Each structure stands twice: as structure tokens, then as C-alpha cells.
Structure 1
Amino acid sequence: MAMLKTKQIRNSSSIGFPGGNVKSDVMETRKLRPNIRIATWNVQSLNKAGKTDNAIKEMKRLQIDILGICEMRWLDSGEMPLDGYKAFYSGRTDGAHEDGVGIIMTQKIAAKVKNFPPISERIMLIQLENNPVNINIIQVYAPTLDKADDIVDEMYNTINEIMKKLKKNEINIVMGDFNSKVGEGSTSDAVGPFGLGERNKRGDTLELFASTHELVITNTWFKQPKRRLYTWKSPKDKAEKIIRNQIDFILINKRFRNSCTTVRTYPGADIVSDHTPVVGDFRIRMKKVNKKLMPNFDLRKLKEQGIESKVIKILNEEYQERPKSNAETEMETLQKTIKKIKMNLLKPDRRLKKSWMTEEILELMEKRRLEKGNKVEYLKYQKIIRQRIRQAKENEMIEKCEEIENLQSKHDDFNIYKKVRELTGTNKRKIGRVLVSEEGSLILSVEEKKEEWKKYIEKLFYDTRTDDIPNATGESGPDILEDEVRVAIALLKNRKAAGPDGIQGEFLKLLDNESIKRLTTIFNEIYSSGKIPESWLKSEFIAIPKKASAKTCDDYRTISLMSHILKLFLKIIHKRIYNLCEEQIAPNQFGFLNAVGTREALFSVQVLFQRSRDVNCKVFACLIDYKKAFDRVKHEKMVDILKNIGMDAKTINIIVNLYWNQTAVVKIDGDHTENIKIERGVRQGCVLSPILFNLYSEYIFREALENINEGIALNGIRVNNIRYADDTIVFADTIEGLQTLIDSVVAVSSRFGLEMNVSKTKLLIVSKEHVSGAHLKINNTRIERVAQYTYLGTIINENWENSQEIRCRIEKARAIFNKMSALFKNHNLTLATKIRFLRCYVFSVLLYGVETWTVSQEMTKKLEAFELWLYRRMLKISWTDKITNKEVLRRMNKDTEIVNTVKSRKLQYLGHIMRNRNRYILLQQILQGKINSKRGPGRRRTSWLANLRQWYDKSSAELFRIATNKVRIALMVANIRNG
């Protein structure tokens, strides 16, 4: 470390913080604080194999602590640990590997990162917590000169907004490739005299930006040889015609300009880019900041025999030896015991990630760097490096494939999925974009984010609910039994995130009989009194982006984490009330009920509308979109409904106390907002919420559609709606009838607190002939008519044919295959393993909703062609090889299966419907009932049932009769699969 001598009454410059010079009265020798090296470099892609390792190698060689990257070309935004370093990146969200910025820093400095807002693919911000002064670094990649000025203006407007948010008494650094030339000579306080070349128009823009925010362009303030000033060299640069420019800069606020001791470029650095790194030495005091880190635990260790037995012993002994107390104290005891176990026994083993990069390749990179002046030798080494990288990556792939095969032999699905994610590169930790307020301004600090989320959640769940907690009286349910607790524990799912109390379901499954008995006593105490422990009433909201470009709070979906013990308690309540609630639900509702789901909802809509069209019965359908339906439920009305259906008083009081006393916090960047009161909506993530919402929705539609005789006449009964939770289709055979239905549904929904999203609610008309002049209005606003609509993940259209949906499914499956091509095209995995992954990842996407398809001959050929397209790529067969389909299947050692799967699943589903009359009475009516209309002249279209008649050579009557016989169905399916 360098030494510095200071003499009496001699001034020395301040280091790392503002203020005057420091005076020293005596001669003393002191150690200089170590410099921090900050650099920026346009690397022209880190998306190529070996480039990231190359960047790390250069950082070590040049002793760079923080390296800003331009043209990183990584997708999305997030952070990634590297070998002793950490990368933060912000890229495009449209799948294009272009632009992108990033910052790589040492792990020691990365521990000081308190905030990382990825603004866009051109701008990102890193905020470092430091003492005495925090550091803010903005990394920028400006558009090249061929891009429109509007894009440049937009970029500077965004940076201006960020700068206004940053504190002036903190160190603010803006750096990157600005694609601007400020030129030689000082023209203001922002630009020094030691620039390079001539200024251009964008150089004026950069100077104006720097002056506005009191920044200095550090490159221009240090006298250096010209080879230490240029940052970009043209591919046409020659000894006789030098074309080099200074377009990359590091800017710092004037207040801290003295902390920068020198800035220069290093043309000897090499990463196969025409830019050179701009490196600045900064005397900045970097003090250790203690950050509270959330500990990680490996719950899979509970499956290890030695650890499992220890945990069972400690958990039960410590829980039982404590004296019995009230519910709140009992929960605290259990919480402390489990926390102690996790800290002592379940800490994850530290496993160093093995890198494919070899020392030989790094040495070759160094040799290539030394030959930068010799183009022939440089290209020779570049060719060798590419070959070595290809071989190293191949060796890594072989190792990973061997690991997957080994895990598959052990049936370890959890680690198989983990390895597949590693293999396909989908294991990066992604971070959402920067948050924007309702007014449209950027929100950068964690405190501002917390305040914005608090305001949003308060507004979302605010209601004029009475503060007086309703109390139900009357019949009470029986005490909770130990067997009920055991059954509920067995139903708890593993690997679910814990609530605020930190207790996971895996620990509850290790309770012995005595502990379960004690827990049952606590449950009965709570059930009888209706008083719920405070720790159960607090939920933790996690914000998940609905889309890649999420900006405002409304663009996020909040997922609630709650106590697993509360989930256990409510599972018992749910089992008791389910049948009572289900009796109230109409057969038109397919959401959150046993034995029905999206498949049944899609089947009902597809077949009913298809049959209506075939007999010239027009269908006028309104596809309703409610605004946050689950969050708008009025608690008082919900309690009235529970009393109305005859639910027992104990259960109602539990639900009332749960809803009236609940609070929530939002987790933001590892921190939490203040407690927020929830005054409306069903509880997110709660076991009871689905059935409670179904009841609420049922009462809305029961009241709205009462005494309205509109819809499609099916066996003389009007069917006018199909629902999956809040995803609702209301329909009629006339536009006037639909308007009557919608007016009533809108009015009643409003009284129950639900509001329709008029902009997203659509009108779809299904008819053989085009219908014009039909309009639908909600609150005097005309609803948009669409030719197609995505309902429950499938496309429905006014022509009512499945060809478009099947084409869409094929393309979605193709996209998944291409995304995972590293897995499917790898020759180191056995065909059996690849086929298993193909069925798991690709066929599952392709065949979503297959039971509802009506498949034409053309679509059958497309499905077969797509399957063979997959096999050809798995075998790496080019279209120029002229290999027959028969030979492809021989090499795959299998027959085609997709079309046979479609045929067998449709037949099995018919059997499923016909054998369960009570459950599927509406589906049977839709399939077999008579629609009050007549078929027109002309050839019939292929229908859902016609597919089965053609494939199995049976009449409709025969199919309905066979469908009730499970053995006959199984035989017919076996015949199809066996060809």
C-alpha cells in the first residue's frame, strides 16, 4: 500500500467527501486509503460463450472494482453471481439480444448494493450504501448516430428524471457509451481542456446535460497521450489513416471531482470489441456496511434419515415440555423451536459452482490480447479460442447430461428440473423494471417504493365497512377431532413459501401423536372463542409482474404468504363447509370445484356454440372482465350470504374475525411496508377464498338472472352463462336478449361491489352469416366487438372453428422447443430421456384443452407434421438430407403419438362425462340436448362428436352407450395407441 508524508501546516486534498483541505500540524506517515477503480466499456455483447469470463479476466488484470458494460445483450433484467464478482443487468424484454447495459462488481462491493432499479435496455442505476457518503452509479448506452434524435431525447429525459431524484450530497456517477464527441478544448465547467477530436451535435447535448446537473466529464480533465484518450477505433482505422474517437465517458458531480485522481483508457485491454475501457481511479472511502440478510434453509434435508430423526425428537420434545398456555403463546413456542431447528440443522451446504472455463482458454485470451497489433496472429488465436470454448462447452454439456440421467435413475424430479433449468439457461434471477407512480414519475428509493405500494394496497382494499365486528349466534359445529387434524396435515403441500411466522408445512408433518393432540386442543380453543392469534392475521404480499414491461403497481399481481398453521386450521374448516357451499353453486360455474376446471368450461362453450351455429342459432356473447373481482368482495354481504345458507355460528365467527382483524405488509427489496388494513376482498392465498368467492358470485348471478328468460334454449331450458370463477361469458340468441342480461348483471354486480372493466369486456357474435348493426352497451358505453378472443388460455372466434387455436398451440409448443433446444438437440442424453422431456415440456403446452378440440383433416396433418419436425431437429436431420418420415421414426424407435393422443383423450373425456351424470349434467345436456332451431341446407361441418364417429366408426348412440363402460373405452383407446 502506498505511503503519504504530510508536513506541518501543509494542506492535503480531501479524500472521498466534500469540504476544504485537511491541515496537518505534525509530520506523520499514514497509509493512503486504497483507490477504487471504476470503469466503463462497450464490450459488444456478453451473450457469447466466454465473453463474461474474458471481462472478469480483464477486471482482475486491470484491478477494476466496478465495470459498467454497454451492449451487454442479455435479456430481461436481474442479477447473476460470477466467480468472485456479481453482475447486475438490464436488457430488452422482447427477446432480441440487442443493446442492454450492466455493471459487474466485486462481491465485496456488491454486498453494499442497497437498490438496483433497471430502468430500460439503455439505462440502469446501482445505489451503494456507504459511509460517510452513498454512491449512485448510472450506466448508459446511448443510441448510435443512425438512430433518430427522438430516441436520444427520450434517453436524456429519463436520465434527467433520475438525476433529480438523487441527492446532491451523494457521489453521483454517470458513465457509459454516449456516442457523443465533446472534442478538444474546454467550453464550460463541465468539459475539460483534454478532450479528443472535434465536437458533434450530440456532444453539445452531453455538455448541456452535464452542466444542468453540475457534473464534470472526467476524461477531459486529465492530460494523457492521445492513445490514452480515444475510446473507439473504427474497423477502417489504419496507420496511414487513423480513425479514432472519444465517445465513452465517466461523469461525476462537481462536489466530488477531487475524489477522481486520474482517468485514462487502456487500449491494450481485449474482449474482441472496437471500444477500449475507460478506467478511473477514485479515492472513495468504502466502509463495511452491515446488511441484514435473509437466511436460506434446505428443507430437503428433512428427508435425510439422520437429520429427520433429530428434528422429530427436538421438535416434539421441546414443544411438549413447555407448559400449556393460550393459543398465542403456543404458536410463539412452536415458532421459536422451528427457527432453532432450521438454524442448527437445515443450513444449506455450500456448493461451489463448477465453471466450464479452463485455464488454457484464459491463457490463450491473454496471448490474443498481446497480439492486438498483429491482425494475423490475433485472428489465429481467436480461431483457436473459439474451438477450445466449443470443446469446453461440449464437455460441460456431457457432464450435465450424465447428471440428469443419474438423477432420472433415482427418480429425483426436483433436481432434474433444476438441472434442466441450468442446461437451458432459464435459471437467472430476474428483477422487475423500475416502478412508476400513478403520476408517471420514476420511483427509485426503497422508501418511496414502500410508500407507493402502501398507498396502492390501501386504495385497493379500502371500503366503508362497519368497524363493529358482526357476531353470529345459533347452532354451533362440533369440536375439531385429532383425526381431522391428521388428515389436514397430510394434505399440506411441501416446498411452499412460509408466511411471516416462518413455519413450513414440512415441520407440521413431523409432529407426533402427543403434539397433534396438543395442537388439536389449541384449535378447539380458537374455534370455540372465535379469537384468532395475531400472528395468523398478518399476511405478506409479494409483487409478481403480470408482464415483462410492468411499471405501475397495477401491472403487478400480489401473491399472499400466510401462516401454514392457519392454512392447516382452515383446511379443517374448509372440509366441513365445502359440501354445504357446493350445493349452492349452479352447474354453470366450473371454477374451484372438485372434478371440474378449465377443461369443462372450455368444453361447454366450444360445443354449445358450435352446435348452435350448426343449426342456424345465432349466439351473441359478452365476455365479461371484472376489475379485480377477488379484491372487491364486500365483507358484510359475504357474511349475510354465509348466514343465509345456514352455516354454523362458530364457523361464521371464525371467518368474521379473520376478515375484520386481518392486516398485510408488502415485501419490497427485502424490506416491508407498514401494516395495512384490509377492508374488502377475499383473502389472497387462503384455503377458504375460492369457495367463498364462488358463493358470492353465485348470489350475484342468481339475483341478476332471476325471472329473465333469455339465453340459448337447450331442451326447453335457457342456458345463458358459463363461468370459471370470475371469467364469465353471458350469451343469448338475440342482441336484445343479451342487452337485457348484461343490464341486470351490471346492476347487481355494482350493488355487490364488483365493477366491469368496460375496455376489456368484449362482444363476440357467432353466426353462419355476418351480422351487422348489433351493438351492446354497458353504462351507455358501447362494447367493442371482436372477431376472436382468448378465453381461459384458448382462442375462440366468430367462425367457431379450432384450426386457429391448434395453429396457435403448435407455435407456442415450437417456441418452447426452440427455447430448450440445448436439451432436445443434445446427443449426450438418451432418446428415452429426451422423449420424456418432450412430453413434459412441449406436448403439455401443445395439448392444452385438447379434449375440447374439433380436428379437421388439415389440422390432423399439421399436428403430424409438427411432431415429425420435432423429431427431425432432435436427430439433427437437415431438410436437405432427404430422409423419409419412416426412417425418422425408425431412428426415434417409436411411432407418431400426438394424433393418437388427441383421439384417445377425446374418447376418454366422453366416457368421463357420461359416467358422472350428477357432476356433469350440464355437459351432457350440451352434448345431447336439442337446440330450438333448424339446420340449414348444405354439407355439415365437422363437429366435436363427428370426430369420434369418424375415428371409431361408431354412431352417436353407440358412442354414448359405450362411454358408460370403462372397460370398453380402455380397449378402444388401446387399439388406437397400438395402431
Structure 2
Amino acid sequence: MEFQRTGRYDLMYMKTKELGWKENHGIQNVGIEDSQGNRIVDQRQVLKIWENYITELYDRPNRPETLEVEPEEEVDTDEKGPYILQSEVEKAIKEMRKGKATGDDDVPGDVLKLLGEGGLKTLTKLMNTIYESGEWPKDFTEVTMIALKKKTKATKCSDHRTISLIAHTAKIIAKILKRRIERKIEDVLGEDQFGFRRGKGTRDAIGMMRIIAERTLEIDEELCVCFIDWQKAFDRVNWTKLMQILKETGIDWHERRLISKLYMDQKVRVRLDRGETGSVQIGRGVRQGCCLSPILFNLYSECLTKEALDGLGDFKVGGQIIQTVKYADDLVLMAKEETVLQGMIDRLIEIGRCYGMEMNVEKTKVMKISRQPTPVTIKIDQKQVENVKCFKYLGSLLTDDGRCTCEIKSRIAMAKAAFSKKKNLFTSKLDLNLRKKLVKCYIWSIALYGAETWTLRAVDQKHLEGFEM
């Protein structure tokens, strides 16, 4: 009630979430497994294991000595890029969220929001010095990573998700660069890419897949669908290839030089409970936690799929061939004929390796959408891809019969489980209107995720009505 009275709904949200959060997902001092599967608890050895893991993850045997762009004198003036304006700096600061952890420079983002006219002019001058010289301050390129568990019993480094603590001042220039290159990249991206784009999201990609399935069954045809899983896609981007793509896209010279220097100079270290690893030189992948990374990866994956699938595919809607539905690194391939789909996958594997990408055979799945579905024989490097009748795509269940019944039942079950975790809160003596708001926030948001993509039958409506009661 105190949070409601003071209007601190952010604190109320955090406190409510804690009530249903039983596990501590931070790193605890329970040790970590080494490469031989032995549990190591000695802190120095644990730090070394993490350092080796990060080194191996981002290592590239033929890491380029330099990513230098072409000499400045070879570039036309109008292709170099304009100076950074103070208005761009102000806009970037305004977009920054409050209360975020500091980077290596220990400058809180909230302090930057308090800068007056003099401070903004000084900061703009610093941004232009970096922009014109192409040299990043050391605090901007070195990143500290915090590891969080992806599952309760996390015993390996790979069982953790890392988040990066980047200097807030570095985020300002990154936001300015993003705004400048975003429009040119948007012009290259296809309509089938729904990830990290304004006005598009997971529901649009899910909706597209449901429409395609329903359309296929409506005209009594069959469609072979392959859900591609790339192995650590964001961490495998080839920088040399990326810089080549940026040049071909028409990104200004200063922007390309800054991005190349940022990638070449970056180092990371992992912070644990009782210490930090040594700094590790990065050799590949987009920069974790950087606002530039999503759009750079989108451009990279777009060029990969265009090069691989050019002239392939046999599935048409309205006279237009549809080959893929993409959401960042989640790629769906589709074709009417099994042999056509196999050809698309083979070509994607071949070109993908030129881009540094490898498919994960274990997590890649194939499905045939049909009134009478039969198994599809698809292979990746001579290994059979598993056939599935149901697949969780971006958090929503897709089935080979094109119906939403399984998804609706699953959503209801998850919503009931969420209600049980916070039952004491919802049945407490809190104000009724407040409890209604909490139910809408924590229960209905789970139950109705992707509801705008559902095609309801009478039985589905009964399930939802029964849950509401």
C-alpha cells in the first residue's frame, strides 16, 4: 500500500516479482566444472576456468591484425559523415534509462542527465574528438561481464548468461552511431525480418507463421518448415565480413572506422563474487550489450540469407516466393517440396560457414504442415534432423495442424502456475483495485501472450472462458 500511495510502482513491481522468485540466479560460491567435468571450488581456478571459457568463445584462429578502412584521402567528403551535433548528444542522453550499473569509468548515467549547457558542450567536443580521430578511450572499449544462471543447477560456464557493464559515456556515442546508420540498414532488410525493428516484434513473426500455416491448409497443400538454430550466432560474426558489408551498404567512412576500432580494441573480463578474471582480447562476434549490435547482426544475417537463398524456393503467396521468416537469429526456412528445402539448407550451410556460422543439428527441427503430415527427411552434414509435430517458436507453440488449441492450453497452464506462486498476494487484504491491476500485470500478460495471432474455435473459447471464471 505504501508503494501505491507514493506512486512508486517500479518498486512495487520488483517486490511483487521477488515473492515468486525462489531461486538465486546470481553466481554462488558452489564451484564450476572444468573441461574434464571436475567440480572446481578454488576461487583462483574458477577464475581461470572462466577466463579460458571466454577466450575460447570469442577466439578466432585467424583474427585480423587490423580492420583498417580505406585511407581517408580516397573517400569523398560527402561520404565521410558529418560532425556530431550537441542536439544528437542531448537526444542520446535523454534516451538513457535511469538506475543502470556503471561501466569501467564509474560514471553513473543519472549524472549525465544533470549536465548543464557547459557540460553538454564539453561532452559534445569529446564525442567529436573520438569521431574525428577514430580512437576510443580505454574505458570505453573494456567491458566487465556479470554472469547469471540460465537454469537452477548451473554447473558449467555455458549454463550462465553474461551481461555487459558498458561505460555510459560510450553508450552516448554508440546511440548516435546507431541513429545514423539505422536508416541505411533498414533499407537493406527484408520484410521477413521482425527482430529489433521499430513497429515489429515477436507477435508479428508468430502471426506470420500462423497465417502461412492456415493459408497452406486452406488450399489443401503441404509445407515443409525447418526451424534453424545457429550455434551462438551473435558470438560468431566475422568482423572482416561485417566491415565489407557495412561498406557495401553505404555507411559513412567515419562510422565504419569507429566501429572497426571499437571491435579491434575491445576486451572483456568476468566479475565473480570474489574477484575478476584477466582481460581477454575479443576476436569475433558482435559486442555484447551494445546498442549497435542488434542492427549490425540483422544486416549481417540478411546478407547471409540473401546470398545463400538467391533463386531458391518454391512456396508462393500472392505470386511472391516466401523463403524465410526471421527474428534476429531465429530463422525459419520453408518450401513445398522436401528436396527444395534440403537444397536451401545445404546452400545455407555452405554460405553460413563463409560468414563464420554453424548450424546446431541437435536444436534444429523440421515440421510438415499438412492435413495428413508425414515425416520429412532432412539432413545436416549427414545427420538426420528431428521431425516434430509441435515447436515453441518465440515463446508460442506452433503445430503441424495449424491450430491454436495446444498453445491456448499451454498459456492457461502457465498462467495458473504464475497465479499459484503469488496466490497469497492476490488473496490478501490489499485494495481490490490494486489486486486487479496485479492480476492483469502478472497473470493475464502470460495467458494472453500472442493472443492477437490466435484463430479461435468453439472449444478454444470454452477453455479461455473456463480459465477466466
Q: Distance in 2 between matches of 1:422 and 1:714?
A: 47
Is 1:833 aligned to residue 422 of structure 2?
no
Q: Distance in 1 between matches of 2:221 and 2:442?
A: 40
The alpha-carbon deviation at position 410 of structure 1 amounts to 2.6
- Structure 1 residues 543 and 425, CA gap change in structure 2 (3 angstroms): closer
Aligned to 1:570: 174
Contact 1:599–1:852 (8 Å) recurs in 2: yes
Aligned to 2:129: 525
Q: Identity rate of aligned residues, in percent?
A: 36
Q: Distance in 1 between matches of 2:338 and 2:261?
A: 45
Q: Distance in 1 between matches of 2:18 and 2:139?
A: 38
Higher relative contact order by CA 8 Å / sep ≥ 6: 1 or 2?
Answer: 2
- Structure 1 residues 505 and 611, CA gap change in structure 2 (3 angstroms): same
Aligned to 1:632: 236
**Code of the aligned partner of 1:510:** L
Contact 2:246–2:256 (8 Å) recurs in 1: yes
Q: 1:648 aligns with which of 241, 245, 252?
A: 252
Is 1:775 aligned to residue 377 of structure 2?
yes
Is 1:471 aligned to residue 75 of structure 2?
no
Is 1:448 aligned to residue 45 of structure 2?
yes
The alpha-carbon deviation at position 430 of structure 1 amounts to 5.5
- Structure 1 residues 419 and 633, CA gap change in structure 2 (3 angstroms): closer
Q: 2:11 aligns with which of 393, 412, 415?
A: 415
- Structure 1 residues 421 and 788, CA gap change in structure 2 (3 angstroms): closer
Q: 1:721 aligns with which of 317, 321, 324?
A: 324
Q: 2:102 aligns with which of 498, 503, 506?
A: 498
The alpha-carbon deviation at position 428 of structure 1 amounts to 6.2
Aligned to 2:336: 733
1:257-276 C-alpha deviation (Å, 9 max, x unpaired): xxxxxxxxxxxxxxxxxxxx
Q: 2:420 aligns with which of 814, 818, 831?
A: 818
Q: After the TM superposition, which residues 896-935 of structure 1 pair with which residues of structure 2 at under 5 Å, given as runs?
A: none
Contact 1:421–1:427 (8 Å) recurs in 2: no
Contact 2:26–2:147 (8 Å) recurs in 1: no
Q: Distance in 1 between matches of 2:210 and 2:19?
A: 39
- What is the count of residue pairs matched by the alignment? 461
Q: 1:766 aligns with which of 365, 369, 390?
A: 369
Q: After the TM superposition, which residues 539-554 of structure 1 pair with which residues of structure 2 at under 5 Å, given as runs?
A: 539-554=143-158
Q: 1:613 aligns with which of 203, 217, 220?
A: 217
**Code of the aligned partner of 2:399:** N
**Code of the aligned partner of 2:112:** L
Secondary structure, aligned partner of 2:289 = coil
Aligned to 2:2: 406
Contact 1:485–1:572 (8 Å) recurs in 2: yes
Is 1:796 aligned to residue 398 of structure 2?
yes
- Structure 1 residues 428 and 545, CA gap change in structure 2 (3 angstroms): closer
Aligned to 1:457: 54
Secondary structure, aligned partner of 1:698 = helix
Q: Distance in 2 between matches of 1:580 and 1:670?
A: 45
Q: Distance in 1 between matches of 2:23 and 2:437?
A: 21
Aligned to 2:455: 854
The alpha-carbon deviation at position 610 of structure 1 amounts to 1.4
Q: After the TM superposition, which residues 120-135 of structure 1 pair with which residues of structure 2 at under 5 Å, given as runs?
A: none
**Code of the aligned partner of 2:465:** E
**Code of the aligned partner of 1:679:** G
Aligned to 1:601: 205
Is 1:558 aligned to residue 162 of structure 2?
yes
**Code of the aligned partner of 2:404:** N
The alpha-carbon deviation at position 830 of structure 1 amounts to 1.7
- Structure 1 residues 426 and 780, CA gap change in structure 2 (3 angstroms): closer
- Structure 1 residues 446 and 619, CA gap change in structure 2 (3 angstroms): same
Q: Distance in 2 between matches of 1:421 and 1:645?
A: 44
1:714-769 C-alpha deviation (Å, 9 max, x unpaired): 11111011000000110101101101111111111111000000111011111011
- Structure 2's unaligned 5+ residue stretches are none
Q: Distance in 2 between matches of 1:603 and 1:732?
A: 18
Q: After the TM superposition, which residues 275-294 of structure 1 pair with which residues of structure 2 at under 5 Å, given as runs?
A: none
Q: Distance in 1 between matches of 2:348 and 2:9?
A: 47
Contact 1:663–1:677 (8 Å) recurs in 2: yes
Contact 1:423–1:822 (8 Å) recurs in 2: no
Q: Distance in 1 between matches of 2:21 and 2:213?
A: 43
Q: Distance in 1 between matches of 2:24 and 2:265?
A: 39
Contact 2:210–2:453 (8 Å) recurs in 1: yes
Q: After the TM superposition, which residues 298-317 of structure 1 pair with which residues of structure 2 at under 5 Å, given as runs?
A: none
Contact 1:446–1:668 (8 Å) recurs in 2: no
- Structure 1 residues 431 and 688, CA gap change in structure 2 (3 angstroms): closer
1:637-659 C-alpha deviation (Å, 9 max, x unpaired): 00000111111111111001000
Q: After the TM superposition, which residues 237-316 of structure 1 pair with which residues of structure 2 at under 5 Å, given as runs?
A: none
**Code of the aligned partner of 1:849:** G
Contact 1:438–1:552 (8 Å) recurs in 2: no
Aligned to 1:580: 184
Contact 1:446–1:669 (8 Å) recurs in 2: no
Is 1:864 aligned to residue 461 of structure 2?
no
1:333-357 C-alpha deviation (Å, 9 max, x unpaired): xxxxxxxxxxxxxxxxxxxxxxxxx
1:587-633 C-alpha deviation (Å, 9 max, x unpaired): 11111111101011101111111111121121101100110000000
Secondary structure, aligned partner of 2:250 = coil
Q: Which has the larger radius of gyration?
A: 1
- Structure 1 residues 853 and 831, CA gap change in structure 2 (3 angstroms): same
In terms of fraction of residues, the more helix-rich structure is: 2
Q: Which aligned runs of 4 or more in structure 1 are off by greater than 2 angstroms?
A: 417-434
- Structure 1 residues 657 and 547, CA gap change in structure 2 (3 angstroms): same
Secondary structure, aligned partner of 1:633 = coil
**Code of the aligned partner of 1:854:** T
Q: Distance in 2 between matches of 1:711 and 1:523?
A: 50
1:217-250 C-alpha deviation (Å, 9 max, x unpaired): xxxxxxxxxxxxxxxxxxxxxxxxxxxxxxxxxx
Q: Distance in 2 between matches of 1:777 and 1:452?
A: 35
- Structure 1 residues 588 and 842, CA gap change in structure 2 (3 angstroms): same
- Structure 1's unaligned 5+ residue stretches are 1-404, 869-979
Q: Distance in 2 between matches of 1:465 and 1:407?
A: 52
Contact 1:613–1:767 (8 Å) recurs in 2: yes
TM-score when normalising by structure 1 = 0.46
